[in-house]
C-alpha cells in the first residue's frame, strides 16, 4: 500500500457525497420490486447479490488474506445440500437449514484447514481444489444426498421471486458489511501488515496463522450461507453442478475484473459478470469461452482490475477499508524522528571512516 | 488384486508422462499451468482430427500434433505468460486459469460432450493373458514410452547446452541472465518442450481411455498430484509419483468400487501435500 500524498488526500473518510450515494443505492434496492415491470430486473439483481456475496468472500481470501482458493465451491455444495437435506428430510425451516449450512461449512473448513494451511500460494490453491473435487466425488457416492441424482428442493417452492430477492439483497449487503467491518478492525490492519511484509508483521506480534484462519472461517461460513441462498433461487441441486468449478470461475472472474483487494471490485465485478452471462445467454455454448478470453485479456491489460486501476489513477474509493490517517501521521508514528536518527547514525559512521 | 497392482503401476507410467510436462513448467518458472489438463485434452482432439485427415495414420497424426502443440506452447508463453510472470505468481496462475476455461469450453463447443477415443490396434491386444494377470498392450506401451521419455529428457536437461540454460534459469534466473542466458527465451523453450510432452501424453490418454472436453481438470489434478508427490523438477520422482497415484486409484477401485477410485487418489495426494509438501523424495529444498 502506498501512503503517498494523493492517496491520503483522496481518502479523507466518508464524504457527504459518498454517504448520499450509498443511501440512494440502498433505497433503490429496497424499492426495486415496487417499480412497474421490474420482474426481470429483480431476478437479475437477485443473481448479482448472490454472486457479489461470493465475490466478497473470495476477495477477502484472495485479495486481503493472500489465500488464493480455487475450492470455495465445496462450501457452495455444502450450503446447497444442507438446505436440501435439512429442509426436506429433516423438515426444518429453510432459514435454519441455510444457517446450518454455514455452520457445517465452518466445521468442514476447520477439519481440512490443518492440512491446507501447511500449503502456501499455488499449493494452497490446488489443495483447496483437490478438497472440493474429492468432496464432489464423495457426494456423488453418498446415499444421504441421493448420490449424483440430484434433489428437487421442494421446500423452497412457496417463496416468491420478490421474497428471494429480499433474501439475496440482505445477504449481499451483509457480505459487504462483514468484509468492510472486518477490514477496518484490528484483523484488517493485521492482514494488510501481513500482505505488505509478513516477517515484519510477525515480529510486531501479528499472529499470521490465526489471522488467516479467522478469515478462512468467515469466508467458509458466508460462502456456505450464500450456497444455501443460491439454491433457494435455483431449487434443484446436483453434486456436479453445486461443487463445480463454474462457481470458482465466476468468483475469480468477478474479483479480477472488478479489482482484487478492493471493496468495490467484487461489486462491480458481479454486476459485469451477471450482465455478461445474461447477455451471452443469447449465444449458448460460447459464453464461457468468451468469459475465459475476457479474463485473460483483463489480467494482461488491467492486472489490478477496474477498481484497482481507477483507484491507482484517482485515489477514489467508495468504501475505504483504511482508517483515516491524521495529517501529521508521520510525526505521530515517529517516522521523521526515526529517519533523523538513521541519518545521524549514518553521518557518524561515515565520519569514522 | 495382483491384476490391480500391476495395472496401477502401468497406469502410473501414463500419469508420469502427464506430470512431466507440468513439472517442467513448474520447476523452471514456478508457474502452475492450470490449463495443462485442457491442453492435454486439446492434443487428444488434435490427434483425432489429424488422424481423420490423414486416413487413420496415428503415428503421423501424433507428429503433427506435437508440432501443433509446440506452436501453441510458443504462443501461450511468448504472448501471454511471459508478460505477466514479472507481476508475481497470482496473475500468471490466473492467466492459465483463463486459458483453461477458454479451452475447455471451446473444445466442448467444437467436439460436443460425446466421449471419443483414438483408434489404434494396441487397445484390444493383450500382451500377457493368464488367470492371474492380463495386461493390455496399450498400458505396457504407455509405460515404456514414459520411461523412454524420462530418460531422454534427463539426458536433454543434463547433457546439452539447451538443458543447462533451462536449468540455470530454474536455479537462479537473475544469475542466469547475467551469464548470458536469455531467461525469457528459456521460458519459451521450456513451455514448448512441455507442450511436446503434453502432446504425447494426450495421444496416449486418448488411445488408452475415452475422453471428452470436460475431463481436463481431473487430469490437471492428476498431473499436479504426480508433481507434488514426486517432488519438483525431479524426473525420477515424477515416475514414482505417477505410480503412487496409479496404484492408489486402482487399489481404491478394488476395495471400494470404481465410483470412488479417484477419491482415494485425491486423499493420498492431500495426505502427501499436508505431510511432505516437498515430495516423497525431497532433498534439500531449492529456494
**What does A210-254 look like in DSSP terms, one character per residue?**
HHHHHHHHHHHHHHHHHHHHHHHHH-EE-HHHHT-HHHHHHHHHH
Write the residue in B83, B95, B102 that is nearest to A289 by C-beta.
Answer: B102
Confidence band for A15, pLDDT divided at 50, 70 and 90: low
Q: Are A53 and A171 in contact (CB under 8 A)?
A: yes
Residue B229 forms part of a structural domain: yes
Residue B286 forms part of a structural domain: no
Mean pLDDT of B257-284: 76
Mean pLDDT of B226-248: 83
Angle at A20 between CA A18 and CA A22, to 5 degrees: 70
Contact A134 B263 (CB under 8 A): yes
The answer to whether residue B287 scores a pLDDT higher than 50 is no
The answer to whether residue B196 scores a pLDDT higher than 90 is yes
Residue B285 forms part of a structural domain: no
> Which helix (DSSP H) or strand (DSSP E) does residue A151 occupy?
strand A151-152
Per CB-CB distance under 8 Å, the chain A contacts of B87 are: 303
Residue B63 forms part of a structural domain: yes
Q: How far is CA B272 from CA A127, B233, B261, in A?
A: 11, 17, 17
Share of chain A above pLDDT 70, in %: 88
Q: How far is CA A270 from CA A280, A309, A332, B287, in A?
A: 15, 17, 40, 38
The answer to whether residue B274 scores a pLDDT higher than 70 is yes
Question: Which residue in chain B has the smallest CA separation from A62?
Answer: B90
Question: Rounded to a whole number, what is the distance in Å from the CA of B122 to chain A's nearest CA?
Answer: 31
The pLDDT tens digits for A234-258 are 999 999 899 988 898 889 889 988 8
Alpha carbon of residue B169 to chain centroid: 21
Per CB-CB distance under 8 Å, the chain A contacts of B101 are: 249, 288-289, 291-292, 295
Question: Rounded to a whole number, what is the distance in Å from the CA of B115 to chain A's nearest CA?
Answer: 18
Backbone dihedral angles phi then psi of residue A257, each to the nearest 5 degrees: -65, -45
DSSP assignment string, A34-71: GSTT-HHHHHHHHHHHHHHHHHHHHHIIIIIS----S-
What is the overall mean pLDDT for chain B? 85
Confidence band for A14, pLDDT divided at 50, 70 and 90: low
Residue B284 forms part of a structural domain: no
The answer to whether residue A13 scores a pLDDT higher than 60 is no
The answer to whether residue A274 scores a pLDDT higher than 90 is yes
How close are the terminal C-alpha atoms of chain A, in Å? Answer: 37
The pLDDT tens digits for A150-162 are 899 988 889 998 9
Lowest-confidence pick of A319-333, B38-52, B207-221, B237-251: A319-333
In A10-160, alpha helices (H): 16-31, 39-59, 73-84, 94-116, 121-140
Residue B287 forms part of a structural domain: no
Question: Rounded to a whole number, what is the distance in Å from the CA of B76 to chain A's nearest CA?
Answer: 11
- Most confident residue range from A109-113, A242-246, A278-282, B129-133: A109-113
Within 13 Å of residue B263, how many CA atoms lie on the same side as its CB? 18
Contact B260 A141 (CB under 8 A): yes
- Most confident residue range from A54-58, B158-162, B190-194: A54-58
Confidence band for A1, pLDDT divided at 50, 70 and 90: very low
Confidence band for B133, pLDDT divided at 50, 70 and 90: confident
Per CB-CB distance under 8 Å, the chain B contacts of A118 are: 273-274, 277
Lowest-confidence pick of A65-79, A172-186, B127-141, B159-173: B127-141
Contact B273 A115 (CB under 8 A): yes
Alpha-carbon dihedral B196, B198, B200, B202, rounded to 10 degrees: -140
Q: Which of A120, A261, A299 to mutate to test the interface with B (most CBs of B within 10 A)?
A: A299
Confidence band for B286, pLDDT divided at 50, 70 and 90: very low
Contact B32 A126 (CB under 8 A): yes
Q: Are B206 and B255 in contact (CB under 8 A)?
A: no
Backbone dihedral angles phi then psi of residue B117, each to the nearest 5 degrees: -150, 155
Q: How far is CA A339 from CA A334, A345, A347, B194, B265, in A?
A: 8, 10, 12, 50, 56
Mean pLDDT of B38-58: 91
Question: Rounded to a whole number, what is the distance in Å from the CA of B212 to chain A's nearest CA?
Answer: 15
Lowest-confidence pick of A98-107, B234-243, B277-286: B277-286
The answer to whether residue A119 scores a pLDDT higher than 70 is yes
Question: Which residue in chain B has the smallest CA separation from A117?
Answer: B274
Counting Cβ atoms within 10 Å, is residue A23 exposed (0-12), middle (13-18) or buried (19+)?
exposed
Write the residue in B84, B102, B260 that is nearest to A303 by C-beta.
Answer: B84
The pLDDT tens digits for A188-203 are 889 888 888 888 888 8
The answer to whether residue A335 scores a pLDDT higher than 80 is no
pLDDT of residue A6: 42
Contact A295 B221 (CB under 8 A): no
* A275 vs A302, higher pLDDT: A275
3 state SS of A284? coil
Cell of A94: 429453510
Nearest CA to A220 among A108, A80, A65?
A: A108
Number of CB atoms found within 10 A of residue A174's CB:
14
Write the residue in A137, A249, A300 that is nearest to B101 by C-beta.
Answer: A249
Nearest CA to A133 among B225, B38, B247?
A: B225
- Indicate which CATH number applies to the domain containing B97: 1.10.3470
Per CB-CB distance under 8 Å, the chain B contacts of A141 are: 257, 259-260, 263
Residue A106, sorted as left (phi over 0), alpha (psi -120 to 50) or beta, turns out to be alpha
pLDDT of residue A4: 45
Lowest-confidence pick of A37-46, A308-317, A332-341: A332-341
The answer to whether residue A8 scores a pLDDT higher than 70 is no
The answer to whether residue A7 scores a pLDDT higher than 60 is no
Write the residue in B94, B270, B277 that is nearest to A131 by C-beta.
Answer: B270
Confidence band for A323, pLDDT divided at 50, 70 and 90: low
Q: How far is CA A328 from CA A200, A243, A317, A332, B69, in A?
A: 23, 50, 22, 6, 59
Its domain, for residue B184, covers: 2-275
Residue B257 forms part of a structural domain: yes
The answer to whether residue B244 scores a pLDDT higher than 70 is yes
Q: What is the distance between the alpha carbons of residues B139 and B144, in angstroms, rounded to a whole number?
A: 9
B→A contacts (Cβ < 8 Å), by residue, are 30, 32, 80, 83-84, 87, 89-91, 93-95, 97-106, 108-109, 217-218, 221, 224-225, 228, 257, 259-260, 262-263, 266-267, 269-271, 273-274, 277
Total domains in the fold of chain B: 1
Nearest CA to A233 among A16, A23, A79, A28?
A: A79
Residue B105 forms part of a structural domain: yes
Mean pLDDT of B271-280: 75
Amino acid at each position: 500500500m502506498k501512503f503517498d500524498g494523493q492517496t491520503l488526500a483522496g481518502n479523507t473518510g466518508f464524504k457527504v457525497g459518498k454517504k448520499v450515494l450509498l443511501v440512494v443505492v440502498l433505497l433503490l434496492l429496497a424499492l426495486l420490486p415496487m417499480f412497474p415491470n421490474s420482474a426481470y430486473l429483480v431476478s437479475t439483481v437477485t443473481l448479482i447479490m448472490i454472486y457479489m456475496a461470493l465475490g466478497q468472500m473470495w476477495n477477502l481470501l484472495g485479495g486481503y488474506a493472500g489465500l488464493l482458493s480455487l475450492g470455495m465451491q465445496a462450501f457452495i455444495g455444502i450450503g446447497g445440500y444442507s438446505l436440501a437435506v435439512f429442509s426436506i428430510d429433516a423438515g426444518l425451516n429453510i432459514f435454519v437449514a441455510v444457517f446450518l449450512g454455514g455452520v457445517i461449512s465452518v466445521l468442514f473448513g476447520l477439519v481440512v484447514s490443518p492440512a491446507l494451511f501447511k500449503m502456501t500460494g499455488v499449493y494452497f490453491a490446488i489443495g483447496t481444489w483437490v478438497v472440493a473435487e474429492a468432496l464432489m466425488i464423495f457426494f456423488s457416492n453418498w446415499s444421504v444426498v441421493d448420490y449424483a441424482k440430484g434433489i428437487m428442493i421442494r421446500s423452497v417452492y412457496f417463496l416468491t421471486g420478490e421474497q428471494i430477492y429480499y433474501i439475496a439483497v440482505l445477504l449481499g449487503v451483509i457480505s459487504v458489511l462483514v468484509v468492510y467491518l472486518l477490514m477496518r478492525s484490528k484483523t484488517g490492519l493485521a492482514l494488510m501488515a501481513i500482505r505488505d511484509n509478513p516477517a515484519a508483521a510477525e515480529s510486531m506480534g501479528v499472529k499470521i496463522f490465526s489471522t488467516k484462519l479467522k478469515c478462512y472461517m468467515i469466508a467458509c461460513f458466508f460462502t456456505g450461507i450464500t450456497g444455501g441462498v443460491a439454491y433457494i433461487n435455483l431449487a434443484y441441486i446436483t453434486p456436479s453442478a453445486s461443487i463445480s468449478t463454474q462457481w470458482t470461475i465466476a468468483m475469480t472472474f468477478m474479483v479480477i475484473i472488478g479489482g482484487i483487494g478492493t471493496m468495490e471490485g467484487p461489486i462491480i465485478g458481479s454486476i459485469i459478470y451477471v450482465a455478461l452471462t445474461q447477455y451471452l445467454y443469447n449465444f449458448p455454448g460460447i459464453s464461457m469461452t468468451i468469459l475465459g478470453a475476457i479474463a485473460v485479456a483483463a489480467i494482461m491489460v488491467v492486472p489490478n482490475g477496474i477498481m484497482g486501476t481507477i483507484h491507482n489513477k484517482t485515489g477514489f474509493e467508495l468504501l475505504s477499508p483504511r482508517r483515516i490517517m491524521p495529517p501529521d501521521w508521520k510525526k505521530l508514528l515517529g517516522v521523521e524522528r526515526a529517519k533523523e536518527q538513521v541519518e545521524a547514525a549514518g553521518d557518524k559512521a561515515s565520519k569514522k571512516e | 488384486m495382483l491384476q490391480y497392482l500391476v495395472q496401477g503401476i502401468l497406469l502410473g507410467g501414463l500419469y508420469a508422462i502427464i506430470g512431466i510436462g507440468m513439472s517442467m513448467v513448474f520447476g523452471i518458472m514456478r508457474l502452475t499451468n492450470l490449463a495443462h489438463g485442457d491442453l492435454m485434452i486439446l492434443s487428444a482432439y488434435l490427434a483425432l482430427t489429424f488422424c481423420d485427415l490423414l486416413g487413420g495414420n496415428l503415428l503421423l497424426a501424433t507428429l503433427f500434433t506435437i508440432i501443433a502443440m509446440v506452436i501453441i506452447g510458443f504462443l501461450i508463453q511468448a504472448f501471454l505468460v511471459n508478460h505477466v510472470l514479472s507481476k508475481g505468481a497470482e496473475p500468471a496462475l490466473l492467466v492459465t486459469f483463463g486459458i483453461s476455461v477458454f479451452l475447455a469450453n471451446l473444445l466442448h463447443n467444437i467436439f460436443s460432450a460425446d466421449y471419443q477415443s483414438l483408434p489404434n490396434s494396441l487397445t484390444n491386444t493383450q500382451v500377457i493373458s493368464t488367470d492371474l494377470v492380463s495386461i493390455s498392450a496399450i498400458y505396457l506401451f504407455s509405460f515404456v514410452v514414459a520411461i523412454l521419455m524420462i530418460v531422454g529428457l534427463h539426458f536433454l536437461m543434463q547433457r546439452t547446452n539447451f538443458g543447462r540454460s533451462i536449468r540455470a534459469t530454474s536455479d537462479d534466473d537473475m544469475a542466469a541472465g547475467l551469464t548470458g542466458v536469455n531467461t525469457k527465451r528459456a521460458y519459451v523453450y521450456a513451455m514448448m518442450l512441455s507442450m511436446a510432452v503434453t502432446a504425447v501424453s494426450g495421444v496416449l490418454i486418448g488411445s488408452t481411455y475415452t475422453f471428452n472436453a470436460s475431463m481436463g481438470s481431473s487430469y490437471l489434478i492428476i498431473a499436479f498430484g504426480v508433481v507434488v508427490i514426486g517432488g519438483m523438477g525431479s524426473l525420477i520422482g515424477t515416475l514414482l509419483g505417477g505410480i503412487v497415484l496409479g496404484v492408489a486409484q486402482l487399489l481404491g477401485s478394488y476395495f471400494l468400487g470404481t465410483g470412488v477410485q479417484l477419491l482415494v487418489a485425491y486423499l493420498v495426494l492431500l495426505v502427501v501435500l499436508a505431510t511432505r509438501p516437498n515430495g516423497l523424495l525431497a532433498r534439500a529444498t531449492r529456494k
